[in-house]
């Protein structure tokens, strides 16, 4: 194997270029958008995102962790806001661990530049993938600016071209390729929460902020400039939906009722709400994530998920990390075998993080403010602290370890059953830290 075509120069495509350039392959990356280091463009996606353990693990293997960590803002827990404006802080970890907010554009630009330092990496921009000949690993790109078509044949095509992947679109036409795209009933709309006039943050920087309102919520994630990206997640139709909150009056009433303490933070909240588009949230699953020894899918192209666990990019980075480990172990002589192993290892994990992310939506919007949920967190925290080998809360497994997502999901189902029994115990609010509770739980595992 000598030449690799990477379709898509987003976060995962850029990291893949870096990883594989280190191995000496000639890498050509074709990106549909202009070079984001030269143009002010929106990716059509959220402005910032969360990087956590899996993402850092992948960066660390190739020596990029330290540098990238510098452009992140850590959040140590959730800060809930009720309709009275009261705030409550719930740490993510009993060990003080954090997840990290990072600018999508900033991280992408940094990874591109890092990859481009290799002589054997070339990036091409404004290149739309028009077709892929899977059998021959040949892609045709058309340049948006010149209108010219370029045909590129290589030994391996990596589809890193996102949720609406053109590479995957060819694979969907193959017999026995399973595929689904499922739009959830909620959409989202971004509302920027600026820093104060003096440049200081208006909200606690060390937390991810949530205004949980059951069927919908507002969320705030910090940026490097002390501002926050606010996101309203809500239903498309029905009460308090994007359909019914449409006019200036409706927006005002909606904010006053549900997010009153956010109003003073966002002077132009009405304009932003009315002008910013509402976007759909899709879950994409497919199988297999490869075609023979010629084509593989990574990142959102293989597993677009809803953003509620902040794991989209982390899962994509882990794809590259796992693929690289397989190359370490098996070499590249039999790429059919390596891609087969990659697909079989990753696909169930992609499905699991898709399920987990949907589950976390329920948790964030419905449960964070639920007394039983808070009690459960306390009980789990105590057991985890006293018996770390036997019980680790799901959130920690997903965000602070490299435990396979599929294993974390299986454990979660088991933990749910046990905790349901515990929470049904009489007077549990008062005896939750009784050693007998821990004993009961540990016997059930």
Cα gap 299→317, rounded to integer Å: 7
Show contacts with a copy of itself in window 271-330 (CB under 8 A): 280
Give the shortest CB-239-to-a copy of itself separation in angstroms.
19
- What is the length of the chain? 445
Tell me the window of 178-186, 263-271, 312-320, 399-407 that interacts with a copy of itself (CB under 8 A): 178-186
Instruction: Give me 48's structure tokens.
Output: 């910032």
The H or E element containing residue 187 is strand 178-193
Sheet containing 3-7: give its strands across. 121-124, 26-30, 3-7, 156-159, 295-297, 290-291
Place of tokens 């009489």: 426
Give the shortest CB-58-to-a copy of itself separation in angstroms.
30
Among 84, 96, 117, 175, binds a copy of itself (CB under 8 A): 175
Among 70, 145, 176, 413, binds a copy of itself (CB under 8 A): 176
Tell me the window of 6-14, 62-70, 90-98, 170-178 that interacts with a copy of itself (CB under 8 A): 170-178
Among 130, 135, 182, 429, binds a copy of itself (CB under 8 A): 182
Cα gap 389→405, rounded to integer Å: 18
Tell me the window of 90-98, 131-139, 173-181, 265-273 that interacts with a copy of itself (CB under 8 A): 173-181
Among 153, 181, 337, 372, binds a copy of itself (CB under 8 A): 181
**3 state DSSP class of 300:** helix
Q: Is 183 in the site for a copy of itself (CB under 8 A)?
A: yes
Tell me the window of 15-23, 174-182, 316-324, 362-370 that interacts with a copy of itself (CB under 8 A): 174-182
Among 22, 60, 140, 236, binds a copy of itself (CB under 8 A): 236
Q: Is 144 in the site for a copy of itself (CB under 8 A)?
A: no
Q: Is 179 in the site for a copy of itself (CB under 8 A)?
A: yes
Show contacts with a copy of itself in window 241-280 (CB under 8 A): 280
Binding residues for a copy of itself, total number by CB under 8 A: 14
Instruction: Output the 3-class SS for 80-144.
Output: EECCCCCEEEEECCCCCCCEEEEEHHHHHHHHHHHHHCCCCEEEECCEEEEEEEHHHCEEEEEEC
Cα gap 353→343, rounded to integer Å: 15
Q: Is 173 in the site for a copy of itself (CB under 8 A)?
A: yes
**CA nearest neighbour of 232 among 199, 274, 196:** 274
The DSSP bridge pattern shows strands 217-222 and 228-235 to be: antiparallel
Positions touching a copy of itself (CB under 8 A) are 164, 172-173, 175-183, 236, 280
């Amino acid at each position: 194997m000598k030449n690799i075509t990477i379709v898509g120069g987003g976060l995962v495509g850029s990291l893949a270029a870096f990883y594989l350039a280190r191995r000496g392959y000639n890498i050509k990356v074709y990106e549909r958008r202009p070079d984001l280091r030269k143009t002010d463009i929106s990716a059509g996606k959220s402005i910032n995102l969360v990087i956590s353990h899996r993402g850092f693990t992948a960066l660390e293997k190739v020596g990029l962790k330290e540098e990238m960590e510098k452009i992140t803002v850590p959040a140590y827990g959730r800060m809930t806001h009720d309709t009275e404006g009261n705030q409550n802080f719930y740490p993510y970890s009993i060990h003080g661990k954090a997840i990290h907010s990072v600018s999508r554009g900033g991280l992408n630009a940094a990874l591109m530049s890092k990859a481009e330092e290799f002589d054997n990496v070339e990036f091409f921009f404004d290149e739309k993938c028009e077709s892929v000949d899977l059998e021959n690993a040949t892609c045709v790109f058309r340049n948006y600016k010149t209108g010219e078509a370029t045909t590129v044949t290589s030994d391996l095509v990596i589809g890193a071209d996102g949720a609406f992947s053109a590479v995957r679109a060819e694979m969907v036409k193959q017999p026995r390729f399973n595929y689904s795209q499922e739009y959830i009933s909620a959409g989202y709309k971004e509302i920027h929460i600026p820093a104060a006039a003096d440049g200081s943050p208006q909200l606690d920087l060390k937390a991810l902020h949530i205004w949980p309102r059951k069927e919908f919520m507002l969320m705030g994630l910090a940026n490097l400039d002390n501002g926050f990206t606010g996101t309203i997640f809500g239903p498309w139709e029905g009460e308090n939906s994007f359909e019914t909150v449409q006019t200036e009056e409706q927006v005002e009433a909606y904010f006053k009722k549900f997010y009153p303490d956010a109003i003073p933070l966002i002077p132009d909240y009405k304009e932003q709400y009315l002008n910013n588009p509402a976007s759909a949230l899709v879950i994409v699953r497919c199988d297999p994530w490869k075609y023979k020894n010629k084509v593989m899918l990574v990142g959102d192209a293989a597993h677009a998920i809803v953003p509620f666990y902040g794991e989209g990019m982390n899962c994509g980075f882990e794809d590259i990390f796992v693929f690289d480990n397989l190359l370490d172990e098996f070499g590249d002589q039999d790429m059919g075998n390596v891609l087969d192993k990659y697909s079989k290892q990753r696909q169930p994990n992609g499905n699991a993080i898709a399920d987990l992310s949907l589950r976390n939506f329920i948790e964030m919007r419905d449960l964070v403010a639920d007394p039983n949920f808070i009690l459960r967190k306390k009980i789990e925290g105590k057991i985890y602290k006293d018996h770390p080998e036997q019980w680790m809360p799901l959130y920690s497994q997903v965000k602070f370890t490299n435990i396979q997502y599929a294993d974390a999901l299986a454990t979660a189902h088991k933990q749910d059953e046990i905790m349901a029994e515990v929470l049904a115990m009489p007077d549990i609010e008062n005896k939750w830290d009784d050693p007998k509770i821990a004993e009961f739980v540990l016997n059930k595992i």
